[in-house]
Amino acid sequence: MRRPLLVLLCAAAAAGAGQPSFQLLSGVLAATPFKTLTTISNVACSSRCSRLAYSKCAAYSFAANGTCWLFRTTCLRTEPSADHPGVVSYAKPPEPSRWCPDNQGIAFDNRCFMRRHALIPLTWQAAQQACKIRDACSHLAMPTHRAAFLALWHFKRPNAYEWIGAEDPDGDGVMSNMDGSSSWTPPMYSWASAGPILMPDRYLSEIHRTTNVNSNIHYYICEGDLQCRMNAPCPAGWFLLEQYCYQYFADSRTWHDANAFCSTHGTNGQLASPGSNSIWLVLWDRLLDNTETRVFMGAHDIGREGLWYTLDGGGVGVPWLSSQPDNAGGAEHCLEMIGGAANDIPCDHLRHFICRSDAQLC
């Protein structure tokens, strides 16, 4: 009779030993718990969370009356736990993860822009609430500068209008985020009416705005924090766009020397590949501030004249200067960016350049 009992005790001890060492949080978890239950102790509450994968349960709160709340996010309120007597909150220790929740969305700098085109279209106010329900630290996307706005105009966008958290209260083309955090002018615009902003269905020379926020329904873009809790995905000074880190270097090198230099920086370092017009425009705005600075990019037609390929092996989907590429002198086989457009030049010319490397799990 004792042997089964001994086996059960050993199994329980092993399960306890394998549980993560939860970290006490300095604030109150602000998200909506995905499960509420009653347990006999703090340890029992932590055990319920530890049984689940990190993406399923990242943190928990326990009250003196035995109430146990399980959370998928560690989003915190600003007030300390002392303001809520008897409630303590803990989080699992950080583990390497991708940048955006559920591997969805576009990672840009320290933010995640998450499309909600697979869900039900909503009014503007309902979309704001839907972002909050998903994650208490999320809200409708509020780009703080032109490059962030261009990142939202992404090639993966669906062909549909989408709500974002910005409006033009004065009708002068200067957009303000709904929390008053910043004002900025989009790259190109023409106004249809007054009110909150909709992203157009593709990169057009207009942004649509509407006053019918209580009746019009659209898909929407939420914005939240990166999931990084262990380390930054990019080196200091580089910026994150999707799964890559980018940086501009102002020293002049030939195309091959520049690519060799990039290969020594980060994982799979190389000259930045201009695979799509949207990423090209973000790099021009974010790193070159829309100037005429001439920089080498990771594309060439060295193998066969007129067939341009990126260093990734894909096609070149960017705007060329007028009458370019022209292979002047029969020796222009490398690509440079100038004023937001592409030009072919000899590979042995000297130019500044933009490097790209793989972003790290964080």
| Environment class of 153 (CB within 10 Å of its CB; exposed 0-12, middle 13-18, buried 19+) | buried
Single out the residue of 167, 152, 168 nearest to residue 200, CA to CA: 152
Band of residue 320 on the pLDDT scale cut at 50, 70, 90? very high
pLDDT score at 247: 96
User: 3-state DSSP call for residue 151?
Assistant: helix
Domain 101-225: CATH class, spelled out: alpha beta
pLDDT(343) > 90: yes
Give the highest mean pLDDT range of 81-95, 112-126, 258-272, 279-293.
258-272
> In whole angstroms, what is the distance from residue 140 CA to residue 216 CA?
16
Check residues 31 and 36 and name the one with the higher pLDDT. 36
Q: What is 16-91's CATH topology?
A: Hepatocyte Growth Factor (3.50.4)
Band of residue 114 on the pLDDT scale cut at 50, 70, 90? confident
Average pLDDT, the chain: 78
CATH 3.90.79.10 for the 239-358 domain, yes or no: no
Band of residue 91 on the pLDDT scale cut at 50, 70, 90? confident
- pLDDT tens digits, residue range 167-183? 766 666 666 776 666 66
Give the highest mean pLDDT range of 60-74, 150-164, 225-239.
60-74
In contact, 246 and 356? CB cutoff 8 Å: yes
> In whole angstroms, what is the distance from residue 9 CA to residue 157 CA?
54
In contact, 317 and 277? CB cutoff 8 Å: yes
pTM to 2 decimals? 0.72
Q: Do domains 101-225 and 239-358 have the same CATH topology?
A: yes
pLDDT score at 2: 41
Least confident of 126-135, 209-218, 329-338: 209-218
pLDDT(107) > 60: yes
Please give the C-alpha separations between residue 2 and each of 5, 9, 15, in angstroms, as whole numbers. 5, 11, 20
* Angle at alpha carbon of residue 12, lines to 6 and 18, rounded to 5°: 140
pLDDT score at 81: 46
Residue extents of the structural domains in the chain: 16-91, 101-225, 239-358
Band of residue 144 on the pLDDT scale cut at 50, 70, 90? confident
- pLDDT tens digits, residue range 204-252? 334 566 666 677 888 888 888 887 766 789 999 999 988 899 999 999 9
What secondary structure does DSSP assign to 302-340, as a single string? -SSTT--EETTS-B--SPBPTT----GGG---EEEEETT
